[in-house]
Chain A
């Protein structure tokens, strides 16, 4: 063995020095729920730390495959975790810059012959030194159209994922079942991706917790009635179409803030204190369409009215 190489490494010190501990703690604190995801990330971090140590001792030389796939329903925190992952990989020294480039099919696939390759390469170049996050990756592959340019983008991606493993990490994200079909029809991807992480749906309690954290970050709070209404809201919203976990909650809160502002405007006579400005009450949440059966009900009544008008 080389004389200059250390003969042993201190994993705890490496853990502290690299700042991995901070990233993992931040992950624990800022993300609610997602236990399986957190434990997978902890495992991955441990693997990368050990691998780094092995490389210092000269036991391993190759860069491990770091490409990942994140599967899960919308609003389960895939993009947020990807950001944290980029930070983690950067601190461990597996990517040089640690920036995250988020793209979808539109950014990779061109509109005419010869347009796709430069477009894909441009995106890959931008992502080098960081992490490329391909959202809804299964749209790249369209089995119904054999002349679809998506195939070309896939080929370039696979080539760069293999040849420039030191330069960038690719994370594919999307719904679970469609990603499975995507991997089944593109075996090249499956074999080049080492880490498959599944994002479970949030429970109702977790979503309420998320709602409160989101509001607290913006200096708002729910009163008791509003909290109860929010609980009911989440349960009702889950049963309706286009439910997107935390994203639905965020949208609901945005609308509640709108209603609160409107209410304050119409009710207010005289000066209002900070307390009233930051309190969201039960009617603000109860006014949501979700309690009346959701979007579809409104659309149907709208249609009925139009028909009556005709």
Chain B
């Protein structure tokens, strides 16, 4: 099951050139672009591992593609995303976020039903991947 998180996730995977153009858009708007990776695909997993520092002062997006490829060498089997942080007053938040790398197989999510008081049922999801310890998933 293909993970659909962030922008462009219903499109075919982005090529390096697509990544460059998108990152350039973020840079031209003055947003700090950074690369992050994780092996926990849960949608509420907000804070992924940082790959290096956010790139505050690189005027060209070739640097982002360079870092994405460096990260792929090291963590090619996990999810990698590019995010753009807008530091301007009133925003101070993520403006863009898109996945640029995913594991070869994505096992998807399991639905968990929990019996609660009064015969009510609580639902939650869990990725099949996270049953393995960190670093051994995928």
Residues of A at the B interface (CB closer than 8 Å) are: 96-97, 99, 118, 124-126, 128-130, 164, 166-168
Complex: chain B residue closest to A128, CB-CB: B62
Assess the A167–B58 pair: CB atoms within 8 A. no
Q: How far, in whole Å, are A168 and B63 apart by their CA atoms in the complex?
A: 10
Give 1 or 0 for each of B53-79: 1 = CB within 8 Å of chain A CB.
Answer: 001011111110011000000000000
> How many pairs, one residue from A and one from B, have CB atoms within 8 Å of each other in the complex?
35
Q: How far, in whole Å, are A272 and B59 apart by their CA atoms in the complex?
A: 48
> Chain B interface mostly helix, strand, loop or mixed?
mixed
Q: How far is the CB of B69 from chain A (nearest CB, A)?
A: 10
Residues from chain B with a CB closer than 8 A to the CB of A125 are 55, 58, 63, 66-67
- A-B complex: 9 closest residue pairs judged by Cβ atoms: A129-B60, A125-B63, A167-B62, A128-B62, A128-B60, A128-B63, A97-B60, A97-B59, A125-B58
Assess the A126–B57 pair: CB atoms within 8 A. yes
Q: How far is the CB of A122 from chain B (nearest CB, A)?
A: 8
Residues from chain A with a CB closer than 8 A to the CB of B63 are 124-126, 128-129
Q: How far is the CB of B85 from chain A (nearest CB, A)?
A: 17
- Taking CB atoms and an 8 Å cut-off, the chain B residues in 26-50 that contact chain A are none
Besides A118-B52, A125-B58, 9 other A-B contacts (C-beta < 8 A) = A124-B63, A125-B67, A126-B57, A126-B59, A126-B63, A128-B63, A129-B59, A164-B62, A168-B62
Q: How far, in whole Å, are A96 and B17 apart by their CA atoms in the complex?
A: 14
Complex: chain B residue closest to A96, CB-CB: B60
Out of A118, A128, A164, name the residue touching B58 (CB < 8 Å): A128
Q: How far is the CB of A94 from chain B (nearest CB, A)?
A: 13
Assess the B57–A128 pair: CB atoms within 8 A. no
Complex: chain A residue closest to B59, CB-CB: A97
Q: How far, in whole Å, are A118 and B55 apart by their CA atoms in the complex?
A: 13
Complex: chain A residue closest to B63, CB-CB: A125
Residues from chain A with a CB closer than 8 A to the CB of B58 are 125-126, 128
Complex: chain A residue closest to B67, CB-CB: A125
Could you list 15 examples of A-B contacts with CB < 8 Å? Answer: A97-B59, A97-B60, A125-B63, A125-B67, A126-B57, A126-B58, A126-B59, A126-B63, A128-B58, A128-B63, A128-B66, A129-B60, A129-B63, A164-B62, A167-B62
Residues from chain A with a CB closer than 8 A to the CB of B62 are 96, 128-129, 164, 166-168
Q: Give the residue among B52, B59, B66 with the most A Cβ atoms within 10 A.
A: B59
Q: How far, in whole Å, are A168 and B61 apart by their CA atoms in the complex?
A: 12
Q: How far, in whole Å, are A128 and B59 apart by their CA atoms in the complex?
A: 8
Residues from chain B with a CB closer than 8 A to the CB of A167 are 60, 62, 66
Q: How far, in whole Å, are A125 and B27 apart by their CA atoms in the complex?
A: 13
Q: How far, in whole Å, are A97 and B61 apart by their CA atoms in the complex?
A: 10
Out of B52, B55, B60, B66, name the residue touching A130 (CB < 8 Å): B60
Q: How far is the CB of B74 from chain A (nearest CB, A)?
A: 13
Residues from chain B with a CB closer than 8 A to the CB of A168 are 62
Residues from chain A with a CB closer than 8 A to the CB of B66 are 125, 128, 164, 167
Q: How far, in whole Å, are A74 and B34 apart by their CA atoms in the complex?
A: 39
Residues from chain B with a CB closer than 8 A to the CB of A129 are 59-63
Residues from chain B with a CB closer than 8 A to the CB of A124 are 63
Residues from chain B with a CB closer than 8 A to the CB of A97 are 59-60
Q: How far is the CB of A246 from chain B (nearest CB, A)?
A: 29
Q: How far is the CB of B15 from chain A (nearest CB, A)?
A: 15
Complex: chain B residue closest to A166, CB-CB: B62
Q: How far, in whole Å, are A97 and B28 apart by their CA atoms in the complex?
A: 11
Q: How far is the CB of A285 from chain B (nearest CB, A)?
A: 42
Q: How far is the CB of A117 from chain B (nearest CB, A)?
A: 11
